[in-house]
Structure 1
Amino acid sequence: MEDKIFNLMEKMYVELSTKIDTMDNKITTMDKRFDTIDSKIDSMDKRFDSIDSRIDSMDKRFDSIDRRIDSMDNRIDSIENKMEAGFHKVNQDLTRLENKMDENHSALYDGYMQSIEGLNVLNEKVDKLTEQVEHQEIKLQVIKGSK
């Protein structure tokens, strides 16, 4: 009976040992898989870190672009203000010149009218003088003809 027990125990030991070896192999395989998973996760972490740094770099670039756009907006606003001031000044100058031209035009028109009136008066005087000369010539001819 002892032999039987011993044989039984030996069988159990062999089976247990085999199962433990199998489990050990499986655990080793699992460890390798976990190591692979860990390395893949590490690789993914590095990639995410790289992506994060790229995104940070892009954020900095966009911030720089935003600042440039703001600067350009300020410049454009400044140019618009200068143009509006320039247009306002040009409009004032144009109004001043128009007023001056109106004054000059009135003065020129008045001078023109005075010249026309003066010419009309002179024409009337010339006409009267012409009539008088003609009348005098007729008298001279009558006097010469009566002699």
Structure 2
Amino acid sequence: MDDKVFTLLEKMYVEMQGMKQNMTTMESKMTAIESNMTTMESNMATKHDIVRLENKMDTNFKALYDGLKLNTEKLYDVETRLGSLEDKVEKNELEIRVIKGAN
């Protein structure tokens, strides 16, 4: 009977050692996973970063819109002046024709 108990204890010990090795392996894998998650968390943008970028983009879009508005106003001014000059040129051409025709 003692041999059977000893054999059973020996088998249990061997199995426990295998389980202990498996646990050690699992612990090392869990440590690696935790390390990867910590790295990923540190690389992720925070809500504060996102809000800051949105504010910066809003400012840039406002500046672009202001520039577009200014360009549009200047273009309108140039078109108005060009129209005025075209009218003056037509008037001068008509006067030149009248003067030449009088001679």
CA RMSD of aligned residues (A): 2.3
Letter in 1 for 2:15: M
Structure 1 position 70 matched with structure 2 position 70: no
Q: Distance in 1 between matches of 2:18 and 2:98?
A: 116
Q: Distance in 2 between matches of 1:75 and 1:88?
A: 22
TM-score (norm 2): 0.80
**Alignment correspondent of 2:13:** 56
**Alignment correspondent of 2:98:** 142
Q: Shift of residue 117 of structure 1?
A: 1.1
**Identity between Structure 1 and Structure 2 (%):** 29
Letter in 2 for 1:114: L
TM-score (norm 1): 0.59
Structure 1 position 116 matched with structure 2 position 72: yes
- Quick check: which has more Rg, 1 or 2? 1
Match of 1:128 among 74, 78, 84: 84
Structure 1 position 100 matched with structure 2 position 56: yes
Q: Shift of residue 109 of structure 1?
A: 1.9
Q: Size of the alignment, in residue pairs?
A: 103
Tell me, which stretches of 5 or more residues in structure 2 are unaligned?
A: none
